Amino acid sequence: MGGSSKRLMTPRLRKCVACGLERPKTELLRVVRSPGGDVSVNDKGASPGRGAYICSRIECLRLAAKKNALSRALKHPVPKEIYTRIEELCVDRGCGENG
């Protein structure tokens, strides 16, 4: 709490909505709600709209689903397909096996 001075040069960090840890953007997946209300997974980070970040880990995906963390972060319901899509991306990246 308090004290915002940073001594180290750090890459841009984003907070995972599930575990709350800050990680470099490259280690996270970005879920975006477009101005039109569509929710999509965007791992290049280039779409406009409100974004939420989640680690590309199955654990965090499950936690986010349980807590409804993505919906809350985006202030919009997140369809089940999005969770499926994130899971696919996690598997693609080889995450979720060794935690």
Contact residues: Zn ion, CB under 5 A: 16, 18-19, 55, 60
Residue 44 C-beta: closest distance to Zn ion, Å: 19
- The answer to whether 45 touches 89, Cβ cutoff 8 Å, is no
Instruction: Give the nearer residue to Zn ion in terms of CB position, either 55 or 95.
Output: 55
Instruction: Give the nearer residue to Zn ion in terms of CB position, either 18 or 82.
Output: 18
Instruction: Give the nearer residue to Zn ion in terms of CB position, either 16 or 39.
Output: 16
3-class secondary-structure state, position 14: strand
Residue 17 C-beta: closest distance to Zn ion, Å: 8
| Amino acid occupying residue 32 | V
CA distances from 1 to 4, 9, 24 (A): 9, 20, 21
